[in-house]
């Protein structure tokens, strides 16, 4: 079983610095409002809330659209500076808003950005930001819908949507595992407390910092290749499965075969050991019983020693 650690020391901060705007390809220069879509009222309500709602509507306006406020309207609401007009000053905030969120998504999805190329990735992010604005004070989970967006993205792309969606699913599993709680892992010694006559109905309790995912594309191979410094081609469709988990501060990805996935998913679903291991007999029907048992026990030991489980539950108790 191949296991790959991830060094996340480069994860970006949620800092108080102002982000510099990187103008997108289709962005129009700020100018008088002529775009009928989402035209912004002039500031008629000068209460604090009225000002904030007016300002926020401008900042949240997609960069692919003309800022829906005229210079005269901006001057009514805002002061010009020594060297920039009121509208140009307002636009600094709009660029900063979009750039910050694009950087956040790039931080969560570095492989997807590589696969699509920076320009296409930023376009995708701008669609994402428009469809899924943040409602949380925290950006940790802002990017959670990227795989869904990739799957439903109607525009043509040189990279198959299914590949993008799978890759985003893998990268999001890593984010989730970073933030999930974890407990001390179950050890092989811990298994020795299970009475021999209770093995069949014992259930394993999974590490909460674990995600098991199945893909139509070999995205973990692609991801690992990128991490090793290669520039891999977009692979053809080929089913794959990966378990992503954290052990202490280290994030790991482990490739799984189809039979491994069947057994592990049954264990994670809380199936008793007897039933879950019985899945292997069906998946490994081409092997004799002795070989099947030997193979499954090897997987089992590997998963236990990797920290995929935290305890054993027998009946309503645990050990």
Partner 1 sequence: MANRFDVPDLGVGLGLRTVHYGRILESRPEVDWFEILSENYMQTAGRPLHFVDAVAAQYPVAMHGVSMSIGSTDPLDRAYLEELRALRDRVHALWVSDHLCWTGVAGKNTHDLLPMPYTEEALRHVVDRVKEVQDFLGAPLALENPSTYVEFAGGAMREWEFLARLAEEADCALLLDVNNVFVSAYNHGFEPHEYLRAVPFERVVQLHVAGHTHHGTHIIDSHIGPVIDDVWRLAGEAWRRAGGVSVLLEWDAEIPSLEETHAEALRARLFLGEAA
Residue ranges binding partner 1 (CB under 8 A): 8-20, 46-49, 51-53, 55-56, 59-60, 75-79, 81-84, 86, 88-90, 92-93, 96-97, 100-101, 104, 133-141, 177-182, 209, 246, 248-249, 251
Q: Quick one: 27 or 98, whose CB is closer to partner 1?
A: 98
Rounded to the nearest whole angstrom, what is the least distance from the CB of residue 76 to partner 1 in the complex? Answer: 7
How big is the chain by its Cα radius of gyration, in Å?
Answer: 25
Q: How far is CA 239 from CA 163, 242, 282, in A?
A: 11, 11, 19
Contact 126, 102 (CB under 8 A): yes
288: number of CA atoms within 13 Å, CB side?
1
Rounded to the nearest whole angstrom, what is the least distance from the CB of residue 72 to partner 1 in the complex? Answer: 12
Rounded to the nearest whole angstrom, what is the least distance from the CB of residue 260 to partner 1 in the complex? Answer: 25
Q: Quick one: 30 or 272, whose CB is closer to partner 1?
A: 30
Phi first, then psi: give them for residue 125, nearest 5 degrees: -65, -40
Q: Quick one: 18 or 31, whose CB is closer to partner 1?
A: 18
Q: Quick one: 52 or 305, whose CB is closer to partner 1?
A: 52
Cα distance between residue 204 and residue 186, in whole Å: 9
Q: Quick one: 53 or 238, whose CB is closer to partner 1?
A: 53
Rounded to the nearest whole angstrom, what is the least distance from the CB of residue 142 to partner 1 in the complex? Answer: 8
Contact 236, 13 (CB under 8 A): no
Q: How far is CA 80 from CA 19, 49, 73, 83, 264, in A?
A: 21, 22, 12, 8, 62
Cα distance between residue 228 and residue 4, in whole Å: 11
Q: Quick one: 19 or 199, whose CB is closer to partner 1?
A: 19
Q: Quick one: 195 or 249, whose CB is closer to partner 1?
A: 249
Cα distance between residue 4 and residue 218, in whole Å: 15
Cα distance between residue 256 and residue 279, in whole Å: 15
Rounded to the nearest whole angstrom, what is the least distance from the CB of residue 11 to partner 1 in the complex? Answer: 5
Rounded to the nearest whole angstrom, what is the least distance from the CB of residue 101 to partner 1 in the complex? Answer: 7
Rounded to the nearest whole angstrom, what is the least distance from the CB of residue 279 to partner 1 in the complex? Answer: 30
């Amino acid at each position: 079983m191949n296991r790959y650690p991830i060094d996340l020391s480069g994860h970006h901060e949620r800092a108080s610095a102002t982000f510099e705007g990187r103008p997108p390809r289709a962005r129009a220069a700020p100018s008088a409002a002529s775009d009928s879509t989402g035209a912004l009222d002039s500031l008629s309500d000068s209460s604090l809330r009225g000002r904030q709602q007016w300002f926020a509507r401008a900042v949240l306006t997609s960069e692919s659209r003309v800022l829906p406020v005229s210079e005269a309207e901006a001057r009514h609401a805002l002061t010009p500076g020594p060297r920039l007009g009121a509208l140009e000053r307002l636009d600094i905030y709009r660029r900063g808003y979009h750039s910050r969120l694009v950087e956040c998504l790039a931080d969560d999805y570095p492989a997807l950005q590589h696969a699509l190329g920076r320009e296409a990735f930023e376009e995708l992010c701008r669609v994402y930001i428009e469809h899924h604005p943040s409602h949380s004070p925290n950006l940790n989970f802002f990017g959670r819908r990227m795989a869904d967006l990739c799957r439903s993205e109607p525009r043509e792309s040189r990279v198959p949507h299914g590949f993008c969606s799978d890759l985003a699913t893998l990268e999001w599993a890593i984010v989730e595992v970073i933030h999930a709680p974890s407990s001390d892992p179950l050890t092989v010694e811990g298994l020795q407390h299970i009475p021999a006559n209770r093995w069949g109905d014992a259930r394993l309790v999974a590490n909460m910092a674990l995600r098991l995912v199945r893909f139509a594309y070999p995205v973990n191979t692609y991801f690992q290749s990128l991490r090793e410094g290669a520039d891999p081609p977009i692979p053809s469709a080929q089913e794959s499965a990966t378990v992503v988990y954290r052990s202490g501060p280290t994030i790991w990805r482990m490739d799984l075969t189809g039979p491994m996935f069947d057994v592990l998913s049954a264990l994670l679903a809380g199936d008793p050991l007897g039933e879950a291991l019985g899945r292997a007999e069906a998946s490994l029907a081409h092997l004799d019983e002795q070989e099947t048992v030997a193979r499954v026990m090897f997987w089992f030991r590997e998963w236990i020693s990797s920290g995929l489980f935290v305890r054993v539950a027998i009946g309503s108790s645990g050990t």
